[in-house]
Structure formats: structure tokens, C-alpha cells
Amino acid sequence: MSVQTDRRWLSIALGLIAVFMAGEVVVGVIAQSLALLSDAAHMLTDAASIVLALVAMRLAARPARGSYTYGLKRTEILSAQANGLTLLLLSVWLTYEAIRRLIEPPEVAGGLVVVTAVVGIAVNLGATSAISHANRSSLNVEGAFQHILTDLFGFVATAIAGVIVLTTGFTRADAIASLVVVVLMVRAGTGLVRDSGRIFLEAAPTGVDPDVLGDRLVALPQVDEVHDLHVWQITSGAVALSAHVLVDPGADCHALRRDLEHALATDYEITHTTLQVDHAGAAPSLLPADVAALPLTQTHCDDSHGPIHRDEPHTH
């Protein structure tokens, strides 16, 4: 799916959300419904996440140049983190307002709440359908999708609250419904902050255990040791790996490098790799002569970062 197609689907969802959000704020004020206003606040973050996703797509498409050797691909991760933090901050304010209204509940126009919530369900179904057609492997796109899906659940809760107010006069149902929305906002916000934080901290992608991966590589024939193994995400769906590999003396370094790359691509779908392959027992040619003359344990990354995987019973 092309980036242009993704932009079109996101723009359709943004238009639906923006138009309805403006109307919901007006109705929420008239009806004095915190549930509607909380839904509108959530929709504002949905709209912001889509705008940021559209901007990030444009920036990420720029070629790498100058000091930005990866280009601006992580702009989508920045926008996802900003969106998650905004959700968490909004949830704090809405929690305060909900508690205040539980203590002193205002009059709520249940009929307006129900009608608006039903329209909101329809709008969110349309927006969710539009974004589901875009590439959801992007953290931004998936974040926007999850936000709108969460908003859909929030409107269902709001509609139920409106029916309760309309039929029983229990106005606190409106504040309770807003707390349900808050829980959903916290869940979505926490997930975005956690996932974007993992990428910024260059943690291994979810589902990839570096220790298991290192053992898999060192198990290949003629591979003696793997160290300085690093695997991280450049951005959503773009995984990179680097490692220093020692192979048997006399082994074909180039052929083994191709075997390693094939194993990484086949087993882990990692194709962006940087592998330094040297013969075990040989001093690295790029080191000064006095350093290259040191024993092997000192010449090959004596201060290796992380576990060392050897072709023997492994001790990590």
C-alpha cells in the first residue's frame, strides 16, 4: 500500500472526526454533559494523532542527508509519544471533573446526550473503517486506529449513560460514563508512551530475544563467537542489527556473512544488518601494531557490550 493511499484514508477519517467533534462540543455545553465533553476531548487527541501521522509521513519520506543519517523516520515515533502523553494529561483533568460531578451532579439533558452519542458511534465506525485500510504497521497509524476504536467504545458508554439519565433521572451516570472513557484513554496513552519509549531507548523489538538470536547465529557451522550484538528499531517496522562475529581460521568470511544474513532474514525478517566478520585468533587489521599484538581476549572487543555468545556451552 502506498503512502499516498494511507494519506487519503487518514484524511477521510480526520474530516469525519473534526466535523463531529466541533458539533459535540456545542451539544456537550448545552446539555451540560461531561461524558460528551470528555468524548470530544478524546476526539481532539484522535484528530491530533492523525494530523501528526500525516506530517510524520511527509517528513519520513524525505531522503537521509547531512547529520540525519536515518532521515526523519523517527518523527512518527515523536508524534506517537506526544499523542500518548496528551491522552494521559487529559485523563487527569477528566478524572478530576468526573469526581467533582459525582459529588455535586449537575442537570444533564439525557435526550441530547443519547442522540449525540448515537451519531458519534456512526462517525467513529466510519473513521475506524477508513483508517483500517491504511498501513497499521506504523505506530502512528495504529495509534490513531486504537484511539478511534477506544472513542467508539466511549460513545457506547455515553449512550448508555444518556439512556439511564433519560429514564431514571440518575445524573451521576454521566460522570460514571466519563470515568469509563478515562480508563480507555489511560490504556491507549500508556501503550503509546511505552511503545514509543522502547524505540527511543533502542530496545529490541517485541518478540525478539537478543540472547536467543545470538545463540541462533553462533550455532551456524564455523561460527565461533558473536558479541557486540545490538538489535533495535529505527522506526515502526524498520529493524536494524549489528554484531561482531568471529569464525574459524581459514573459513570464508564473505560466505559466512551471507549465511548469517540469510538466517536473520529468514528467522527474524531482519534485513538491515551490519556484520563485522573476523577470523578467530587473528588480530584485527585496523588496530595499531602494538595493540594487534595483544592476546585475542584483548584485541577482539575486550569491553564487549552485552553477552558473548560462543560455540560451546553458553555462559551469559
Mean pLDDT value across the chain = 81
CA-based angle 196:200:205, to the nearest 5? 70
For the chain, the first-to-last Cα distance in angstroms comes to 42
Q: What is the pLDDT of residue 203?
A: 92
The more confidently predicted of residues 282 and 241 is: 241
Complete domains list, the chain, with CATH: 3-200 (1.20.1510.10), 210-310 (3.30.300.30)
Q: Which residue type occupies 59?
A: L
Residues 172-196 have a mean pLDDT of: 86
Sign of the alpha-carbon dihedral angle for 180, 183, 187, 188: positive
Instruction: For residue range 63-74, list pLDDT tens digits in order.
Output: 878 888 888 888
Q: What is the pLDDT of residue 78?
A: 86
Cα atoms found within 13 Å of the Cα of residue 66, Cβ hemisphere only: 3
CA-nearest of 228, 234, 217 to 268 is 217
Instruction: For residue range 248-274, list pLDDT tens digits in order.
Output: 998 999 999 999 999 999 999 999 999
Residues 273-293 have a mean pLDDT of: 67
Instruction: For residue range 123-135, list pLDDT tens digits in order.
Output: 888 988 888 777 6
How far apart are alpha carbons 145 and 265 in whole angstroms?
29
pTM above 0.85, yes or no: no
Q: Which residue type occupies 265?
A: A
% residues pLDDT > 90 (the chain): 25
Does the structure show a pLDDT above 70 at 42?
no
Does the structure show a pLDDT above 50 at 169?
yes
Q: What is the CA radius of gyration of the chain?
A: 27
Does the structure show a pLDDT above 90 at 182?
no
Query: CB–CB of 243/276 below 8 Å?
Result: yes
Burial class of residue 71 in the structure, from the number of CB atoms within 10 Å of its CB (0-12 exposed, 13-18 middle, 19+ buried): middle
Does the structure show a pLDDT above 50 at 314?
no
Does the structure show a pLDDT above 50 at 316?
no
What are the φ and ψ backbone dihedral angles of 244, each rounded to 5 degrees?
Answer: -105, 125
